[in-house]
Chains A and B, each alone.
Chain A
Amino acid sequence: GAVVSQHPSRVICKSGTSVKIECRSLDFQATTMFWYRQFPKQSLMLMATSNEGSKATYEQGVEKDKFLINHASLTLSTLTVTSAHPEDSSFYICSARWWRDYNEQFFGPGTRLTVL
């Protein structure tokens, strides 16, 4: 149990386009999902906290208009990178928090975004 999927696993896009990344909890309900970004050879940095049915909470320095997060259901959160630029190229990882254990997070496999 406790499987989190991400789609797509890899995406290459042209500069200026928008890309949507989906994060799904497959066998449990997740009231909260987290989005992280990881640049090569660096650590994971939390971008935002996504709560079902409400607006996402963004970490300091993360542009909310650029990284749109929608948590429309208890099993799906989406991250849309709008007007992507090469500097947005990164590994994006989501995690879902199990409602039964506030301090348990299950991670998705990640999405590698390359902006040309």
Chain B
Amino acid sequence: AQKVTQAQTEISVVEKEDVTLDCVYETRDTTYYLFWYKQPPSGELVFLIRRNSFDEQNEISGRYSWNFQKSTSSFNFTITASQVVDSAVYFCALSGLNQGGKLIFGQGTELSVKP
């Protein structure tokens, strides 16, 4: 069975603080993909990153960075110097190679960045 756990339901920070959103996954597939999406109040999902299971290199994109560790089945997301515009719900998702491309989403973490 596949499962994604985002233990942090809500996080509140003050602007310019760094914040890390946790994601832990379970899968029996040896080949799989991990994703992060942002969902602002408008509801539309915004794709942030995709990582395959064979690429454990950390990724940095501007203020965003991702730490993928297969040993702990985690794919954490850090926002550096957070801004009010970062306020949204963030979802971590998993797609196993043998699952027909289906995405399994975590419960989501609602991030609130206060000025």
Interface residues of A (CB under 8 A from B): 32, 34, 42-46, 49, 91, 93, 95, 97, 102-107, 109-110, 112
Interface residues of B (CB under 8 A from A): 33, 37, 42-45, 47, 50, 52, 91, 95, 97, 100-108
Whether B103 pairs with A109 at a CB distance below 8 angstroms is no
Question: Measured between C-beta atoms, what is the minimum distance from A25 to chain B in Å?
Answer: 15
Whether B103 pairs with A34 at a CB distance below 8 angstroms is yes
Q: Report B-chain residues with C-beta under 8 Å of the C-beta of A49.
A: 100-102
Majority SS of interface residues in chain A?
Answer: strand
Whether A46 pairs with B44 at a CB distance below 8 angstroms is no
Whether B44 pairs with A109 at a CB distance below 8 angstroms is yes
Known: A43-B91, A43-B105, A43-B107. A104 touches B44 (CB 8 A): no
Known: A43-B91, A110-B44. A102 touches B101 (CB 8 A): yes
Whether A46 pairs with B91 at a CB distance below 8 angstroms is no
Which of B33, B37, B104 is the one whose CB lies under 8 Å from A103? B33
Q: Report A-chain residues with C-beta under 8 Å of the C-beta of B33.
A: 103
Q: Report B-chain residues with C-beta under 8 Å of the C-beta of A95.
A: 103
The CB with the most chain B CB atoms within 10 A, among A91, A97, A103, A112, is that of A103
Whether B91 pairs with A103 at a CB distance below 8 angstroms is no
A104 and B51 alpha carbons, distance in the complex (Å)? 11
Question: Measured between C-beta atoms, what is the minimum distance from B8 to chain A in Å?
Answer: 13
A97 and B100 alpha carbons, distance in the complex (Å)? 11
Q: Report A-chain residues with C-beta under 8 Å of the C-beta of B102.
A: 34, 46, 49
A43 and B107 alpha carbons, distance in the complex (Å)? 5
Whether B44 pairs with A107 at a CB distance below 8 angstroms is yes
A112 and B41 alpha carbons, distance in the complex (Å)? 13
Q: Report B-chain residues with C-beta under 8 Å of the C-beta of A103.
A: 33, 50, 52, 95, 97, 101
Q: Report A-chain residues with C-beta under 8 Å of the C-beta of B97.
A: 103
Q: Report A-chain residues with C-beta under 8 Å of the C-beta of B44.
A: 107, 109-110
